[in-house]
Amino acid sequence: MTETILRVNNIVKSYGKHKVLDGMSLEIKRGMIYGLIGINGAGKSTFMRIIMGLTYADSGNIELFGASDTKSVQEARRKIGQSIETPALYPELTAVDNMKVQAANAGVGNVEITHLLELMNLQDTAKKKVKNFSLGMRQRLAIAVTLVSNPEFLILDEPTNGLDPAGIIEIREIIKKLVREKGLTVLISSHILDELSQVATEYGILHHGQIIQELSKEELLQKSQQYIELKISDVEKSVTILDEMNISDYEVIGTNEIRIYSDLDLVAQINRQLVTNNIEVYQLDTKNQKLEDYFMNITGGK
């Protein structure tokens, strides 16, 4: 059985009268890259800060590396590396010196700083101060700093925010490399689903303080694939006909719509069978839903 790294149950957090998290629950297992997706202000950063002990939940339970009591959870946090909100870097220092400071703060000796900087493609910045780094370089250094303590679990809050396309690609490739080569488990947030779809293996959609849907990589890709949109007068009877045609990869939407994700070349045959069986076909189109459209639809966004 795969080890559970993080399990949270019914987390609630309010600031004054504003409830940021409202019974949030999720589970992250070892080796996952868990993508937490939500619009700005959905509570992603607040949730991450609670996990790190930087703020506290009003109620709910946290289990971290199997620990659930307050003292044990605090000890388990030593296994986490985190970059939440603005990376804590010293602009007047070089990348190497920033790494040394972090190592000293963490009480870690014999850190392979050179190796970590090479991992982040920062090996040629020995004498360059961080204040002269590009945004992408600072983001990569922020991740390198989180790795100083050799963590098992990495928490990254919007690590590609503000980056150009090349920087985004570089960051996500680094994250996948860390999981592949170091065996890390990662929790990563973003407000752009299409961006997360390139790196995460599991997804949780955070809306109004709750996880309203969780999907695997495969399930998410299905949401963006081509499908036949079918609007008919009798869903139940139509489903029977699809089954008789050995079409099984479909989804019933509401009271008069079916989406068919396979057999896209059978549009004419499907239409013929439905009409022959006295089912009125209001619409029959082949469509391709974008991930961002799916995200906005499920969260009721514009």
Mean pLDDT of 69-85: 90
The mean predicted confidence, pLDDT, of the chain is 89
Q: For CATH 3.40.50.300, list the domain ranges present in the chain.
A: 4-220
Calpha distance 186→156 (Å, rounded): 8
pLDDT of residue 58: 96
Q: How many angstroms separate the Cα of 119 from the Cα of each of 128, 144, 155, 298? A: 18, 8, 18, 37
% of the chain surpassing 90 pLDDT = 55
State yes or no: pLDDT of 301 exceeds 70: no
Mean pLDDT of 256-274: 91
**pLDDT tier for residue 125 given thresholds of 50, 70 and 90:** confident
pLDDT of residue 71: 93
pLDDT in tens, 195-210: 888 899 999 999 999 9
Q: For CATH 3.30.70, list the domain ranges present in the chain.
A: 227-290
Asked if residue 19 lies in contact with residue 42, where contact means CB atoms within 8 angstroms, the answer is no
SS3 of the chain: the string is: CCCEEEEEEEEEEEECCEEEEEEEEEEEECCCEEEEECCCCCCHHHHHHHHHCCCCCCEEEEEECCECCHHHHHHHHHHEEEECCCCCCCCCCEHHHHHHHHHHHHCCCCCCHHHHHHHCCCCCCCCCEHHHCCHHHHHHHHHHHHCCCCCCEEEEECCCCCCCHHHHHHHHHHHHHHHHHHCCEEEEEECCHHHHCCCCCEEEEEECCEEEEEEEHHHHHHHHCEEEEEEECCHHHHHHHHHHCCCCCEEEECCCEEEECCCHHHHHHHHHHHHHCCCCEEEEEEEECCHHHHHHHHHCCC
Q: Long-range contacts of range 73-81, CB-CB < 8 Å, 24 or more positions apart? A: 77/52, 77/53, 78/149, 79/151, 79/152, 79/153, 80/51, 80/52, 80/151, 80/152, 80/153, 80/154, 80/155, 81/146, 81/147, 81/148, 81/149, 81/151, 81/153, 81/154, 81/155
pLDDT of residue 1: 67
Calpha distance 101→18 (Å, rounded): 37
Asked if residue 20 lies in contact with residue 14, where contact means CB atoms within 8 angstroms, the answer is yes
Mean pLDDT of 236-264: 91
State yes or no: pLDDT of 110 exceeds 70: no
**pLDDT tier for residue 131 given thresholds of 50, 70 and 90:** very high
Which residues contact residue 8 at a Cβ distance below 8 angstroms, ignoring those fewer than 6 apart?
24, 25, 26, 27, 47, 51, 60, 61, 62, 63
Which two three-digit tokens encode residue 167? 């920087």
State yes or no: pLDDT of 302 exceeds 60: no
Fold of 227-290: Alpha-Beta Plaits (3.30.70)
**Span 4-220 CATH architecture:** 3-Layer(aba) Sandwich (3.40)
